[in-house]
């Protein structure tokens, strides 16, 4: 057979299956169904290929994630009619968008379905389908062992203590009540939303219990909620991934202090500052006597010394004899005076080398004006998507996962610093710049600061820019298209007076391009919109904050 005569259909079934699995594309699956005298029908019904189906409806998704594959409604309808009834018995894992969930689940019986992942999940889905009266009760109640929900509810909308209790009952409690065989539960937020966290502080001790759940990934309101989850109500829990909103230094509640001998992997993330690290966090870590992997993201304040390698080894790591993986980001803010010995980056780095942790980095900054110092220490490669309160310096490494960054200037940032940020954080989506410097009197001097030796700084993924600054130089730096390119910027937070000055009362062409796609403008002072304002921001949905915030 000549090489030119070989067709796709002539390949052995084993090779065709390898090709199809690499394509992993619902459109390809749909287009091949019913062709080549049924050969592909047989292949596409093969258990190996239809094991996992990822079907996200394009019309219902609204995100910028490149890794979310979507299909249009027409193909989805045909898929539910022509394909799913033929392969539903082979499907073990479903990845769905919540608005299309009903159509897809009604297209078959799915007797082998054990894993379900839902995007754009909300309270309405739980109220309609996560109940004992659900039309999918036969699937949810006894088959599903793994449930992953990307929550799209907005905490600001739900808000309030009473509604928060209702949310606990409607979402968290109802899930464990309905899914009787659930062994793994993950509830995470989408990138742009902050959904209501679990809070069981004031609820009965039998709330949110399971004798078979082994993995839990969840957001909770406070450390007390986390401690309640570890009081024995989840007896078989071996993997616990928790994001905590607040860690209070409150010892009034008495918690179970038994060893957590079943726990093998613990991950804790808290973005808000806490002063309870020594009193409450260290005792919790010491209970995890058989822990094998620890992931920690925490920001600490009101300590007398930095958290360094020596401290971590003495207070935590030496009590975890089975630990083999420690991934961390820890920042510490301390008070300083002229008598405090100033440690360098090398000093902090050496404390980690002394305990055998060589893949680490750190940065230390001192501010005499505020009498404070901040130290960031973290394992390499940097594993988190968030980095906060960087002051005038950043380690010269690539942060491949960072999408959220805040910087705070004590000395005015120059263009070189923003060049470094763009290179170090190539996937940056949310950027906050904060300062308390007095407004420069000679703004024209900086407005004319076009540094020709630099090319235009590219922030290709930046969607939100927060500039709570007194120095208009930063507004100029990011809005002037000869200095910075922000093609996806849709949210801008700043002082309206600065915006008005930099844009020359919204007539300046050089700043118009970087404002063209902004949908949300959040101002920290009073706004007085001119007549031509809408032409400068054609797709704007204005939100104004009073200066008191």
Query: Of 96, 113, 130, which one is at a domain's C-terminal end?
Result: 113
Whether residues 531 and 394 share a domain: the answer is yes
Collapse the DSSP code of 225 into the 3-class scheme (helix H, G, I; strand E, B; otherwise coil) and give the result.
helix
Q: Which of 18-22, 65-69, 295-299, 527-531 has the lowest mean pLDDT?
A: 65-69
Give yes or no for residue 193 having a pLDDT over 60: no
Which residue blocks in 425-463 are alpha helix, DSSP H?
443-447
Same domain, 360 and 393: no
Q: What is the pLDDT of residue 529?
A: 77
In a domain, 18, yes or no: yes
Average pLDDT, the chain: 84
Same domain? For 549 and 400 the reply is yes
Residue 136 lies in a domain: no
- Nearest to 499, CA basis, from 541, 456, 533: 533
**Is 207 domain-assigned?**
no
User: Is the N-terminal amide bond of 381 cis, ω within 30° of 0?
Assistant: yes
Give the least confident one: 60-64, 77-81, 177-181: 60-64
Of 9-18, 398-407, 522-531, the poorest mean pLDDT is in 9-18
412 against 53, higher pLDDT: 412
Residues 6 or more apart whose Cβ sits within 8 Å of residue 438: 470
Residue 61 has what pLDDT?
Answer: 40
pLDDT exceeds cutoff 50 at 355: yes
Q: 518 lies in a domain?
A: yes
- How many angstroms separate the CA atoms of 513 and 473, rounded? 18
pLDDT band at 409 (very low <50, low <70, confident <90, very high): confident
Model confidence band, residue 49 (pLDDT cutoffs 50, 70, 90): very low
Same domain, 352 and 485: no
Is residue 179 assigned to a domain?
A: no
Q: What share of the chain is helix, strand, coil (3-state, %, to 5)?
A: 30, 25, 45
For 110-162, strand residue ranges (E) read 115-121, 146-151
Residue 224 pLDDT? 96
Among the candidates 349, 384, 419, a domain finishes at 384
Q: Is the residue at 193 inside a domain?
A: no
Q: How is 53-88 classified by DSSP, letter by letter?
A: EEE-BGGG-----TT---B-HHHHHHIIIIIHHHHG
514 and 430 in a common domain: yes
Q: Which residue has the higher pLDDT, 49 or 417?
A: 417
Q: How many residues does the chain have?
A: 549
For residues 415 and 329, state if they share a domain. Answer: no
The residue out of 113, 140, 169 marking a domain boundary is 113
- At residue 222 the predicted structure's pLDDT band, cuts being 50, 70 and 90, is very high
Do 103 and 38 share a domain, yes or no?
yes
The rounded distance, in Å, linking the Cα atoms of 261 and 283 is: 14
Q: What is the pLDDT of residues 275-287, one digit of tens each?
A: 999 999 999 999 9
- pLDDT category of residue 422 using cuts at 50, 70 and 90: very high
Domain for residue 257, yes or no? no
Q: How confident is the model at residue 440 (pLDDT cuts 50, 70, 90)?
A: very low
Q: Is the pLDDT of residue 33 over 80?
A: no
Q: Which residue has the tokens 């959904």?
A: 195
- pLDDT at residue 328, as a whole number: 98
Does one domain contain both 350 and 465? no
Provide the pLDDT confidence category of residue 9 given band limits of 50, 70 and 90: low
What percent of the chain clears pLDDT 90, i.e. is strictly above it? 56
For CA atoms 496, 499, 504, 508, give the dihedral sign: negative
517 and 544 share one domain: yes
Percent pLDDT > 70 in the chain is 80
pLDDT confidence of 204, banded at 50, 70, 90?
confident
pLDDT, one tens digit per residue, over 106-143 is: 998 999 999 999 988 988 999 999 988 899 998 999 99
Whether residues 422 and 539 fall in one domain: yes
Q: What is the pLDDT of residues 370-403, one digit of tens each?
A: 788 999 999 999 999 999 999 878 888 999 999 9
**pTM for the complete prediction?**
0.86
How sure is the predictor about 28, in pLDDT bands with cuts at 50, 70 and 90? low
Between 548 and 502, residue with greater pLDDT:
502
Q: Provide the pLDDT for residue 198.
A: 93
pLDDT at 191: 57
The residue range of the domain holding 26 is: 1-113
- pLDDT tier for residue 369 given thresholds of 50, 70 and 90: confident
Residue 140 lies in a domain: no
Nearest one of 219, 57, 79, 66 to 150, comparing CA atoms: 219
* Per-residue pLDDT at 68 exceeds 50: no
**Nearest-5° Cα angle at 80, 79 to 84:** 85
Q: How many structural domains are present in the chain?
A: 3
Residues 319 and 425 in one domain: no
Domain identity same for 539 and 405: yes
């Amino acid at each position: 057979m000549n090489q030119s005569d070989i067709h796709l259909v002539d390949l052995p079934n084993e090779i065709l299956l390898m090709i199809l699995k690499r394509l992993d594309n619902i459109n390809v699956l749909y287009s091949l169904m019913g062709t080549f005298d049924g050969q592909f029908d047989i292949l596409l019904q093969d258990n190996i290929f239809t094991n996992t189906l990822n079907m996200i409806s394009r019309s219902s998704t609204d995100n910028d994630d490149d890794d979310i594959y979507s299909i249009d409604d027409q193909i989805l309808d045909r898929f539910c009619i022509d394909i799913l009834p033929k392969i539903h018995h082979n499907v073990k894992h479903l990845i769905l968008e919540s608005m299309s969930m009903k159509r897809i689940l009604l297209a078959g019986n799915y007797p082998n379905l054990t894993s379900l992942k839902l995007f754009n999940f909300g309270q309405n889905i739980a109220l309609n389908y996560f109940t004992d009266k659900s039309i999918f009760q036969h699937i949810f109640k006894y088959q599903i062992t793994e449930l992953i929900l990307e929550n799209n509810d907005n905490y600001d909308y739900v808000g309030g203590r009473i509604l928060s209790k209702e949310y606990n009952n409607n979402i968290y409690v109802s899930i464990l009540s309905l899914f009787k065989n659930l062994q793994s539960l993950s509830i995470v937020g989408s990138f742009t939303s902050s959904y209501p966290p679990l809070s069981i502080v004031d609820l009965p001790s039998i709330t949110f219990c399971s004798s078979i759940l082994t993995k839990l990934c969840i957001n909770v309101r406070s450390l007390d909620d986390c401690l309640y989850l570890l009081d024995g109500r989840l007896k078989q829990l071996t993997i616990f991934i928790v994001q905590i909103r607040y860690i209070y230094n409150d010892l009034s509640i008495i918690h179970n202090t038994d060893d957590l001998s079943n726990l093998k992997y613990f991950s804790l993330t808290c973005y808000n500052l806490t002063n309870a690290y020594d009193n409450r966090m260290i005792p919790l870590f010491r209970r995890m006597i058989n822990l094998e992997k620890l992931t920690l993201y925490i920001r600490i304040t009101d300590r007398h010394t930095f958290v360094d390698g020596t401290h971590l080894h003495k207070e935590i790591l030496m009590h975890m004899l089975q630990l083999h993986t420690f991934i961390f980001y820890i920042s510490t803010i301390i008070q300083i005076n002229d008598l405090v010995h100033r440690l360098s980056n090398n000093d902090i780095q050496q404390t980690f080398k002394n305990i055998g942790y060589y893949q680490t980095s750190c940065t230390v900054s001192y501010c005499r004006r505020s009498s404070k110092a901040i130290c960031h220490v973290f394992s390499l490669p940097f594993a988190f998507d968030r980095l906060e309160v960087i002051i005038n310096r950043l380690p010269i490494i690539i942060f491949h996962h960072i999408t959220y960054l805040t910087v705070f200037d004590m000395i005015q940032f120059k263009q070189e610093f923003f060049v470094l940020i763009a290179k170090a954080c190539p996937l940056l989506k949310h950027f906050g710049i904060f300062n308390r410097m007095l407004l420069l009197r000679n703004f024209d001097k900086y407005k004319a600061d076009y540094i020709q030796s630099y090319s235009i700084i590219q922030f290709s993924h930046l969607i939100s820019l927060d500039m709570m600054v007194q120095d208009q130089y930063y507004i100029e730096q990011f809005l002037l298209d000869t200095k910075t390119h922000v093609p996806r910027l849709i949210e801008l937070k700043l002082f309206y007076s600065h915006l008005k000055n930099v844009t020359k009362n919204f007539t300046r062409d050089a700043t118009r391009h970087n404002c063209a796609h902004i949908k949300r403008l959040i101002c920290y002072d009073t706004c007085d919109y001119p007549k031509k304002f809408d032409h400068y921001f054609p797709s704007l949905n204005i939100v104004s904050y009073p200066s008191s915030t």
